[in-house]
Chains A and B, each alone.
Chain A
Amino acid sequence: DVKVTQSSRYLVKRTGEKVFLECVQDMDHENMFWYRQDPGLGLRLIYFSYDVKMKEKGDIPEGYSVSREKKERFSLILESASTNQTSMYLCASSLAVQETQYFGPGTRLLVL
């Protein structure tokens, strides 16, 4: 079974802090994704990566950056956290871009 893990289930940060969210997958998948989930809005893609050191902007990249130094690890970085970034963040991976995505359990981030 594919396993996608996220470094934290819950995080509380202050406005202006730099925040790192880590995601690791164990199935040698090429593609990894970061989404944020907000009530009534579904999931929105922030960034995705189709290979090590490669990244593409999703629908809402503003205020975020990503890093993929190793195939199994994809990090989401909030350079200067703001209260409107309070949300549930979900990481996913897939073998092919258009195929089934496997999700981690999510990180619920609260920015005060």
Chain B
Amino acid sequence: AQSVTQLDSHVSVSEGTPVLLRCNYSSSYSPSLFWYVQHPNKGLQLLLKYTSAATLVKGINGFEAEFKKSETSFHLTKPSAHMSDAAEYFCVVSQTYSGTYKYIFGTGTRLKVLA
């Protein structure tokens, strides 16, 4: 069965310091993996996605994520946090097999950026 675990429900960083949001997944087949961001009172916006090409994926706003099959992880990173990065982040695994669609969301990580 597929699942997604976001290891931290809340992360606080100081402005200008690195960001690490952790995501582990469980999947029987080669998945597609996504990170979405949700700013307060807004819908979700795609940050980046992995679809079995390069394992290091670059996204918008300086974010990137590395697909590590051996660790079943897809952690999101950014070298230097900005105040505007404060939001909730969702890791998603997507897979179709046997005619069944599955798009599984993690429970989210709320990022707080301190001045």
Is A40 within 8 A of B107, CB to CB? yes
Interface residues of B (CB under 8 A from A): 9, 32, 34, 36, 41-46, 49, 90, 94-96, 101, 103, 105-108
**Per a CB cutoff under 8 Å, which of B44, B46, B103 touches A90?**
B44
B50 to chain A, nearest CB (A): 12
| Top 6 A-B pairs, shortest CB-CB distance | A103-B43, A42-B107, A42-B105, A43-B105, A103-B44, A98-B94
Is A84 an interface position by the 8 A CB rule? no
Contact across chains for B101 and A48 when beta carbons are under 8 A apart: yes
Report whether over half of chain B's contact residues are helix, strand or loop; otherwise say mixed.
strand
Give the distance in Å from the alpha carbon of A11 to the alpha carbon of B96 in the complex.
35
Q: Are A98 and B101 in contact (CB under 8 A)?
A: yes
Residue in chain A with minimal CB distance to B46: A100
**In whole angstroms, how far apart are the Cα atoms of A97 and B102 in the complex?**
9
Chain A: interface size category: 20 to 34
CB distance from B62 to the nearest CB of A (A): 19
Cβ of A42 and Cβ of B103 under 8 Å apart? Answer: no
Shortest C-beta distance, A4 to chain B (Å), equals: 7
CB distance from A88 to the nearest CB of B (A): 9
A101 interface residue, CB < 8 Å from B? yes
Distance between Cα atoms of A30 and B36 in the complex (Å): 21
Knowing A43-B90, A105-B42, A105-B43, the reply to whether A97 touches B96 (Cβ < 8 A) is: yes
- List, in ascending order, chain A residues with CB within 8 A of B36's CB: 103
| Alpha-carbon separation in the docked complex, A56 to B99 (Å) | 12
Chain A residues near B46: list those with CB within 8 A. Answer: 100-102
CB closest residue in chain A, given B44: A103
